[in-house]
Amino acid sequence: MQPVSSQSTSPQSTSARPTHARHVVLALTVAAYFITYMDRVVFSTAVPEIRKELGISLVQMGAILAAFRYSYAIFQVPGGWLGDKIGPRRALTLIVGWWSILTSLTAAGWNVASMYAIRFIFGIGEAGAFPIATRSLSRWILPSERGFAQGITHAGSRLGGVVAPVVAFMILRYGWRMPFWTFGIVGLIWSAVWFLYYRDTPEQHHGVNAAELEKIHAATGGPGKPVGSSVPWGRILANPVVWQISLMYICYQYSLAWYTDWFPTYLKESRGFSSAEMGTFTGLSWIAGAIGNVSGGWLTDLVMQFTGDVRRSRRVVGIFGFVIAALGILSSILTKDPKLCVYLNWIAFAGLEVTVSVSWAIPLDIAGDYAGSAAAVMNCCGNLGGGLSSQLVPYMVKASGWSMPLVVASALAVLGALIYTRIDASRRIIFA
């Protein structure tokens, strides 16, 4: 009697050429990032109309915007832990479904308290999305592709902002509630597709042949830790690079919160643009951000290929991006021409986003299978800074006008560049 072939339980090996399942996984991850920012931009674009209809002051809206960021920050670590514990397949299905439902429920808000509660619960659901997505790629994407992978995924999130003109049109035509119902459904569709296609490891995926599996294993060092392994928090938190990237990410998230939460309102109330112009210029700013994301990922991989030095490849590009952001933001404050101000903000935002793919590649560099947990610490700290930004901007505007938040953003970009001079992505965490 012939022994049963192992082919039935292992990836297909009928083709000598590697399959491309990992690229499909990457595309689905890009789509998830797109949806996260699509939902955020829907809210920021609707802010002027929500304030008008519900009688919400600028300071109250700041608290509502901060509510999302605070809960999002607080639940980063539990969210990252969930991804490591039950695996990205189930974890991302759960949390994308959660925030998609909350996106639709935002349309039911009727006053300050209800909006605050909805946004806070929304943040709980979305927390962990990026750390878990990072974890989902850790056993799939080759180290030489990680910079580009992080660049294109975050570019996907920024392209979510392209829906701003569509949202503005929907608001003008149907009122501010309609976009929330519509875009919530998109996330639910993605959740179903992710659960049906993705697997936590390449070994479990029937679309991966032996050649692709061998290519992944050769680059990543073989199969990783099984889902459900305990997270070595002590070693993660003892690593100085984790805290360096966390401090740097506070600098980044302050400015990101400005562009995500307040830029549309700034264009309308400070620079005098109409609602339609506001939507168009906001959407185009996110295209500039997406270009920065891809460029940063491409640049860091390029430096890595030429030097073979992961420390230099991350450090040089991170510094470069923050310097461009600082100069662009400062220049936008000094000009009186509204359109030139918009163009300079596009440049600044692109520079800021150059740093993102590098920042999210570093947890993969130093933490491997526990990249989700390391990234969760970074994103937690960063979003606490983002929450402060959302909440403090109205007070700064009331005290000194719309330029003050931008002055602070420029200064923090300089600080981010200085921190990057100390970050060493080659200092891997040693897990016993």
Q: Please tell me which of 14-23, 80-89, 91-100, 242-251 the model is most confident about, judged by mean pLDDT.
A: 242-251
Q: Mark 323-332 as b/e (b = at least 16 C-beta within 10 Å).
A: bbbbbbbbbb
State the number of CA atoms in the 13 A half-sphere of 377 facing the CB.
Answer: 23
d(CA 31, CA 242): 27
Both tokens of 166, joined, read 């569509």
- Say whether pLDDT at 203 is over 50: yes
d(CA 351, CA 252): 11
User: Which of 202, 258, 242 has its CA nearest to residue 422?
Assistant: 242
Tell me the one-letter amino acid at 121: I
d(CA 328, CA 184): 34
Cβ-contact 291, 350 below 8 angstroms: yes
CA angle 279, 284, 285 (to 5 degrees): 100
Cβ-contact 189, 1 below 8 angstroms: no
Could you tell me the domains of the chain?
Answer: 20-420 (1.20.1250.20)
pLDDT at 113: 94
What digits encode the pLDDT tens for the residues 252-270?
A: 999 988 888 888 889 988 8
d(CA 295, CA 353): 9
- Tell me how far CA of residue 163 lies from CA of 119, 281, 323, in angstroms: 20, 11, 28
- Say whether pLDDT at 8 is over 50: no
pLDDT at 23: 85
User: For residue 352, with 0-12 CB atoms within 10 Å meaning exposed, 13-18 middle and 19 or more buried, which class applies?
Assistant: buried
* pLDDT-derived band at 12, boundaries 50, 70, 90: very low
State the number of CA atoms in the 13 A half-sphere of 2 facing the CB.
Answer: 3
- The pTM of this model reads 0.75
Which residue stretches of 258-337 are H helix? Answer: 263-269, 275-307, 310-334
d(CA 50, CA 414): 35
